Amino acid sequence: MANCLALWRAIWSGWASRRRGGKACRPRRLRRALLKQYRQLTYQELAFHLEDSASFRAFARLPWSWSPQKSVLQHTISAIRPQTWEQINRALLAGARQAKLEDGAVMRLDSTVTSALMHEPSDSSLLWDAVRVMVRLLKRADALSAGTGLAWRDHCRAAKKRARKIQFTRGRPNRVQLYRELIAITRATLAYLDQASERLATPPSAYRAVARSGPSLSAAGRTHHRTE
């Protein structure tokens, strides 16, 4: 609790100076919020400690004849505005800099993992997804080519086959060749997509002028779409 008191003094001394001349502050509400954040408590746990612990009650400045319920704590603490939390964090950081404890150059964020309707992102599945998405883009490029034609092959089946084999193959040495083939398929599809991007970036009039200059270029401009 001594650390929490020192933290409160650092926050309140800096935050109250910024609030002079503004709306009235509510230190009791901020004290309860500080207890919750500092101890990483739920509202139910905070309500229990405020009723059970004399040090918690003394820090929160609660009268001995009253203990807030979790619904009251949730209502009052959630009413603290984001701007107020920002001012509190700035005051806390200023105190830490003054005490030479933290300079604020590095920030750490905590996140919570939840279940989602997504498959586990393994290397083979990500490569297969990349091939599948690139083939979808190539089909759209075919529709936008306006008759100029794009030469590419659909490697979705081959990529899916290798990805499934990698998933059910035991032993790292046995998966090396499959990974090499899957990576080669991905690179080939990426090369098709780069060519399609360059073709779509070229104006149709300029491409037709280049195609008339030689029969080989004209033949290369035909659409070749095969599926493996």
Asked if residue 45 belongs to a domain, the reply is yes
Asked if residue 118 belongs to a domain, the reply is no
The tally of domains found in the chain comes to: 2
Asked if residue 108 belongs to a domain, the reply is no
Most confident of 23-27, 181-185, 193-197, 220-224: 181-185
Residues 93 and 22 grouped into a single domain: yes
Asked if residue 130 belongs to a domain, the reply is yes
Asked if residue 107 belongs to a domain, the reply is no
Residues 55 and 9 grouped into a single domain: yes
Q: Facing residues of 93 across strands? A: none
Q: Centre a 10 Å sphere on the Cβ of residue 192 and count the other Cβ atoms it contains.
A: 21
Residues 132 and 221 grouped into a single domain: yes
Q: Which of 36, 65, 98 is the last residue of a domain?
A: 98
Asked if residue 111 belongs to a domain, the reply is no
Residues 93 and 136 grouped into a single domain: no
Residues 185-216: tens digit of each pLDDT:
999 999 999 988 888 887 666 555 544 554 43
Residue numbers of the domain that contains 223: 123-227
Whether pTM exceeds 0.75: no
Residues 145 and 71 grouped into a single domain: no
Residues 55-107: tens digit of each pLDDT:
888 888 888 778 888 898 888 888 888 888 887 778 778 877 888 877 878 87
Q: Which amino acid belongs to residue 88?
A: I
Residue 64 CA to residue 223 CA, distance in Å, equals 84
Residues 127 and 93 grouped into a single domain: no
**Residue with tokens 């939390």, as numbered in its chain:** 85
Asked if residue 103 belongs to a domain, the reply is no
Q: Mean of the pLDDT values across residues 157-181?
A: 90
**Which DSSP string do the residues of the chain spell out, in sequence order?**
-HHHHHHHHHHHHHHHHHSTTSSPP-HHHHHHHHHHHHHT--HHHHHHHHHH-HHHHHHHT--TT----HHHHHHHHHTS-HHHHHHHHHHHHHHHHHTTS--S-S----------S-----HHHHHHHHHHHHHHHHHHHHHHSTTS--EEEE-HHHHHHHHHHHHH--SHHHHHHHHHHHHHHHHHHHHHHHHHHHHHHS-HHHHHHHHHT-HHHHHHTS-EEEE-
